[in-house]
Structure 1
């Protein structure tokens, strides 16, 4: 079975993956994501896994928000330290749960149950929305995104509104470029870190080097190899962005939001 882990603590995620490998080597961890936002992005661009291990409380909200957005058919095993009311809700909705720290025997039983559900496809009756309702909407933490970034220009710090940023660029260092073509160095090691902080409805990870603002897009041209060529609005029109054919469908869907 192919598994997705949703856990915001790296050590906990690593320990869970190690435990899964020990309990059932046939379960392959294909991806570990650490937030509601990255989970939403991953599920939007990848096929549904066979099973999901999801922490309940993540840094940017509760994981139930993920399953409000996506109607998944795969079984979900929640890892949680929630109160008995939440645990009872899991049981009523037929979803397994594991209390932290994870017990190997419980993990083995949970995986065995999930494997049975995968084979029989009886898990299609699971209703994540009922689980969310049972827990009550007041427990949900709204998603929040950065409103400003500090950029370095000529040894001076300049606050820039996120709405003024046309794209983020990885070119040895990480840069942000405004709609007026002003370029600032950012003190982030990777674009992945920046991607965690911005609204995915407004910004799209076009490739390894670039994250683009939807308001900066002028036009998109299809190429013969099914890739896309993205042209930005002036004065950034000379900067070329190429989107792979694998990402082209999700990019088109993003443009239509």
Structure 2
């Protein structure tokens, strides 16, 4: 008997055997429980861990910490996450913007777009831009434009209003 015939024969044997309800339930229950346990574990870890208060950065052969209170915004520069402080100093960090968004307080930082997270205390003004987009001006000078899409503009304005 060749291999394909053996595998077909085995599959048929398994398929025609009567199902034992206890085995089915035993197999299904852990599958249903795992996501809930994982979700609860992740949420409890987040609560216990709290929000990140500072970031370890490396510049000029020195390690230092930058407090989140002194960070004006995070943005992507040359495919790396970069911090801009209130002094205008740039630091590279080893976290993705998505990771940073979950590490910092959502009351303090808002994800403007795919490239930028801004700190509330450094938002100076917001102007309307083309196509119902918003442009954010910060108290820290920045060469680029900090844009909010028209889909997120209402959420951003509500976030500003909730302070």
TM-score (norm 2): 0.70
Partner of 1:218: 124
Structure 1 pair 244/152, CA: closer, same or farther in 2 (3 Å)? Answer: same
Contact 1:231–1:239 (CA under 8 A) maintained in structure 2: no
Residue 205 of structure 1 is matched in structure 2 by: 111
Give the secondary structure class of the aligned counterpart of 1:201. coil
Alignment equivalent of 2:102, drawn from 196, 201, 211: 196
Matches within 5 A, 1:24-35: none
Q: 1:221 to 1:60 in 2, by over 3 A?
A: same
SS in 2 for 1:166: strand
State how far apart, in whole Å, the 2-side matches of 1:246 and 1:59 are. Answer: 29
Separation in 2, partners of 1:210, 1:225: 20
Quote the Cα distance in structure 2 between the aligned partners of 1:58 and 1:222: 42
Q: Flag as ranges the 4+ runs of structure 1 deviating above 3 A.
A: 53-56
Q: Deviations over 1:98-130 (max 9, x none)?
A: xxxxxxxxxxxxxxxxxxxxxxxxxxxxxxxxx
* Corresponding residue number in structure 2 for 1:167: 73
SS state at 1:59 partner:
helix
1:8-157 alignment, distance < 5 Å:
55=37, 57-61=40-44, 141=47, 144-157=50-63
**Aligned-partner Cα distance in 1 for 2:36–2:125:** 38
- Alignment RMSD (CA, Å): 2.5
Aligned position for 2:92 = 185
Give the match for residue 252 of structure 1. Answer: 157
Unaligned runs of 5+ in 2: 1-27
- Once the 2 structures are TM-superposed, how far is the Cα of residue 157 of structure 1 from its aligned partner? 1.4
**What is the deviation of 1:61?**
2.5
Pairs aligned (count): 129
Q: Which has the higher helix share?
A: 2
TM-score, normalised by the number of residues in structure 1: 0.46
Q: Which residue of 1 aligns with 2:5?
A: none
Structure 2 CA distance, aligned partners of 1:164 and 1:216?
Answer: 9
Q: Is the 8 A contact 1:61 1:142 kept in 2?
A: yes
Distance between the aligned counterparts of 2:98 and 2:70, measured in 1? 20
- Residues 120-152 of structure 1: CA distance to partner in whole angstroms, max 9, x if unpaired? xxxxxxxxxxxxxxxxxxxxx557101110112
Instruction: Return the alpha-carbon distance in structure 2 between the equivalents of residues 180 and 222 of structure 1.
Output: 27
Q: Which has the larger radius of gyration?
A: 2
C-alpha distance in 2, partners of 1:238/1:182? 13
Gaps of 5+ in 1: 1-15, 21-52, 64-140
